[in-house]
A and B are shown apart, each in its own frame.
Chain A
Amino acid sequence: MFPRPIQQSSRGAQTTYQSLIPVVLLLWLAPLLAVAFFSIKPGADFTAGNYWGMPSSFEGAENYGKVFFESDMPRYLLNSVLITVPTVLGAVALSCMTGFALGVYKFRGNLWIFFMFVAGNFVPFQILMVPVRDLTLELGLYNTKMGLVLFHVAFQTGFCTLFMRNFIRALPRELIEAARVEGVAEWRIFWFVVLPLMRPAIAALSVLVFTFIWNDYFWAVVLTQGAESQPVTAGITSFNAQYRASYHLMSAGSIVAALPPVAMFFLMQRHFIAGLTLGAVK
């Protein structure tokens, strides 16, 4: 245990520590809390220059109501869902298979294919931009959610394969060997033996990929435009243009846009952190 557990320190040190944490936390989250604070103020406060004083009235319901009922925000949110969920399904499905192939079988080139996925996962997006935009155009998928989904699935497969392959390698091989001896077909081994054991990995990956895709901005800008297909990260800029200089509404909009992954994180915390930190411990 490092550093030394605080319980072994003096009473005073313990109290100091306990009261210090919330203070540090407050400082840490200050920029965000400021936005949350703005989002419940009435617009009049901003014109009057009352930025940080007590709100002259609490307009939380009014502001958030505007976001939900008087803007394209719900459409953007729906688009985000329709882009994110299929991507998660696709990427996780593909990578369960690739991970299984690379983790279970020994064949020449295994490591090379694995490294291809890993290396591809690290490339800067910009080097893909021109060709992928072109390809999407040729497929007639420009400015469609499908165009975004296909690319995201492909790109996320790199990261997910890395993850799944390492996870499967850590599974007990005896189970698979035993099944083989019994003459079970390979796809049945995959389906009935390995897949059930992969549940935690699938859960962790799903949450992670959900967050990554929900938060994507670059590809949303490159491959889509307008409220019919753009996700909320890109939509928030249009929203802000509509309410430019209305800080109370822009704040509320930002919070709404940020919320789904945050909710996902707090609900699925264990999986999320397990996913992020895989490999952080040898």
Chain B
Amino acid sequence: MTTATLPDTHADEGGPGWVRRNRMRLAPLMFLAPGVLFFLVYVIFPVLESFQISFYRWDGLGAREFIGLENYRELSTDPAFEVSLVNNLKWLLLYLLAIPGGLFIALFLNQTVTGIRIYKSLFFFPFVISQVVVGLVFTWFYDPTFGLLNVTLEAIGLGPVNVLGDPRLATYGIIAAGLWPQIAYCMILYLTGLNAVDPEQVEAARLDGAKRWRMLWFVILPQLRPATFIAFVVTIIGALRSFDLISIMTNGGPFGSTRVLSFYMFEKALSEYGFRMGYGAAIAVVLFMIMLLFIGYFLWSMWRQERMP
């Protein structure tokens, strides 16, 4: 892409003089080359290849057989796919609760009292625990015999609930487990954002009589926009990547009710009774298309920011 802007390069190409004269064009190339190469090979090309594979029937070993849109046609009549898609929507919507949740805790903790720094870290640290462990922790939390949840419910006189065993509740139970670290993440974003809120504006608004909710809505939140944007981005990505928790907590069950696209794809592509790479790729493509809507939006937002001086 640099050649297009090359001005008149004369004669002695190749010598050290040439390198010297074009160093401003060569340097970024050299610096970019390894990273871009890696990224192309392991990320960009595979995305394209997955699109291609989704038009084939392929067991991962033998020859690929081109079947056009057959995989997608099968998807449209596959009840498990429908369940996964609906669950993905639930994840997308409910996961966004992490944003107000994080904001709420951030507002609660945004004080300067003794020990507040420690408290903030302790509130935050669920985020650094791996999802596998979060999944285990919440599986035990929900356990119908000894789980803390049911012990508590019993103490206040409510019947036991088997969250992960009930197909109507299981997905919500897993989302709640996922919200735990995600709220922590959003909280830390907002705490940082709140640090940078302009005190003069707050004072001025106070003099105008703005209180609590009005203040929050009209004065504070607009200043927290960058934090909200990042919280939104990471939460959406987190929701669509949900895999670990499902795999650990229910393995898709009971009777397939907690599958999401990412999990179903894995099941189909690497299952015991046959690799359906093409079908799996088709599921992944659908997931990718959903993500693409958001990626487009993110990039557009960033592009607008870049335009601003």
Within 8 Å by CB, do A and B touch in the complex?
A: yes
Q: Which residues of A contact B (CB under 8 A)?
A: 1-3, 5-7, 14, 17-18, 21-22, 24-25, 28-32, 34-35, 38, 51-52, 94-95, 97-98, 100-102, 104-105, 107-111, 113, 115-120, 122-132, 134-135, 150-151, 153-155, 157-158, 161, 185-187, 190, 211, 214-218, 221-222, 233-234, 236-237, 240, 247, 250-251, 254-255, 257-258, 261-262, 264-266, 269, 272-273, 276-277, 279-282
Q: CB-CB < 8 A to B199: which residues of A?
A: 1
CB distance from A217 to the nearest CB of B (A): 4
Given that A157-B38, A264-B128 are known contacts, is A280 also in contact with B216, CB under 8 Å in the complex?
no
Q: CB-CB < 8 A to A120: which residues of B?
A: 39, 43-44, 47
Judged by DSSP, the binding face of B is helix
CB distance from A65 to the nearest CB of B (A): 20
Residue ID in chain A nearest B145 by CB atoms:
A51
Interface size class for chain B?
35 or more
The yes or no answer to B298 lying at the interface (CB within 8 A) is yes
B46 x A131 contact (CB < 8 A)? yes
CB distance from B57 to the nearest CB of A (A): 13
Q: CB-CB < 8 A to B116: which residues of A?
A: 21
A113 x B36 contact (CB < 8 A)? yes
B23 x A185 contact (CB < 8 A)? yes
Q: CB-CB < 8 A to A111: which residues of B?
A: 303, 306
Residue ID in chain A nearest B305 by CB atoms:
A282
B151 x A52 contact (CB < 8 A)? yes
B220 x A2 contact (CB < 8 A)? yes
Q: CB-CB < 8 A to B192: which residues of A?
A: 273, 277, 280-281
Contacting chain A: which of B89-97, B159-167, B280-288?
A: B280-288
Which residues, 72 to 129 on B, are CB-close (under 8 Å) to A? 107-113, 116, 119, 121-126, 128-129
Q: Which residues of B contact A (CB under 8 A)?
A: 1-2, 4-5, 23-25, 27-32, 34-36, 38-39, 41-47, 49-50, 53, 60, 107-113, 116, 119, 121-126, 128-133, 136-138, 140-141, 145-146, 148, 151, 180, 185, 188-190, 192-197, 199, 202, 212, 215-216, 219-220, 225-227, 230, 233, 237, 240-241, 243-244, 247-248, 261-262, 265-266, 269-270, 277, 280-281, 283-285, 287-288, 291, 294-295, 298-299, 302-303, 306
